Amino acid sequence: MERAVAASRGAAFDEFVAVVRHETPWRFNGVNELERFLHNVEHHLRTTMPRLLASMDTEAHSVFDFGCGSGSGSIALALLFPEIRCRGVDISAADVAIARARARLYGVDDRCEFNVIGEGQALPASAGCVDLCICCSVLEYIIQPEIRKFCAQEMARVLVEGGLLFISVPNRLYPVELHSHKFGWNYFPKWLKARIIGSSVWEIRRLARPHVLGMHRIQLLRLFTPWTNFCLEKQS
């Protein structure tokens, strides 16, 4: 955490902010949570990473970050594990540009690679090439069932046997969709024309077939909280 805090000071941080302003100027027009976005690596280190680490029983060496956004998840992992190598993809060119700048800011750009991918495009990775795949706050925006299924299958495909898939997502079991605060969107998405839909561990296991994903070091209470985190292991 000390290294992350130190990176958010000085001229290098000012250069990073300039990239964010250039790529997403709307963030500076009175939009809430700008500070959190700029310091999102620290947020991941405080919140997401402890939950991920609690799900892991071996150290990961190769990571795929599905829907990497501005790179905070991969960068947090790279700060925690000096030998880890991360690859992230996102459909937003602006976010990928920010992710690359963020990796330079934290000094992990030699181990974190970020690229743009087309919507519905297969992941640019061979089958069984990584031992950890992370997907944080992504699936809720993939509302078409067939595309969500494709994404679950692709994340499972790139894992080695015994590899782990860690997902952090609003819980579809919860009656209120957390981003929009819309009641019923998770339950009746077609009727209510929902634009954001949560997910669950059971849905991902079903959608990933024919790949078999078993629950791994699951904290049962986290399966029923409004925001759920769970880890699945790829089986033979």
In the sheet with 62-66, reading across from the earlier edge strand, the strands are 112-116, 85-90, 62-66, 130-136, 159-170, 227-235, 212-215
- Mention every residue, 6+ apart, whose C-beta is less than 8 A from residue 33: none
Q: Mean pLDDT for each 10-residue chunk of the chain (236 residues)? A: 67 94 92 88 94 91 97 97 96 98 97 95 94 97 96 98 97 96 96 97 98 94 94 94
How far apart CA 229 and CA 209 sit, in angstroms, is: 20
From the centroid of its chain, how far is CA 57?
A: 20
In one-letter notation, the amino acid at residue 155 is M
| Encoded tokens for 68 | 């990497």
Q: What angle do CA 47, 58, 48 make, to 5 degrees?
A: 10
Instruction: Name 64's bridge partners.
Output: 87, 133
Tell me the whole-structure pTM to 2 decimals.
Answer: 0.94
Q: How far is CA 194 from the centre of its chain?
A: 21
Largest Cα–Cα separation, the chain: 51
Please tell me the CATH superfamily of domain 2-235, with its number. Vaccinia Virus protein VP39 (3.40.50.150)
The tokens describing 185, both together, are: 């969107």
User: CB-hemisphere CA count at 13 Å for 182?
Assistant: 17
Sign of the CA dihedral running 90, 91, 92, 97: positive
In this prediction, residue 1 carries a pLDDT of 65
Q: How far is the CA of 143 from the CAs of 43, 180, 195, 197, 198, in angstroms?
A: 26, 14, 7, 6, 9
- Tell me if 153 sits within 8 A of 135, measured CB to CB: no
**Which residue in the block uniquely carries the two structure tokens 């997902």?**
167
Domain regions of the chain by residue span: 2-235
The phi and psi torsions of 84 (rounded to 5 degrees) equal -75, 150
Q: Tokens representing 217?
A: 């070091």
Instruction: For the beta carbon of residue 147, count every other beta carbon within 10 angstroms.
Output: 12
Instruction: End-to-end CA distance of the chain: give it in Å, rounded.
Output: 37
d(CA 79, CA 34): 22
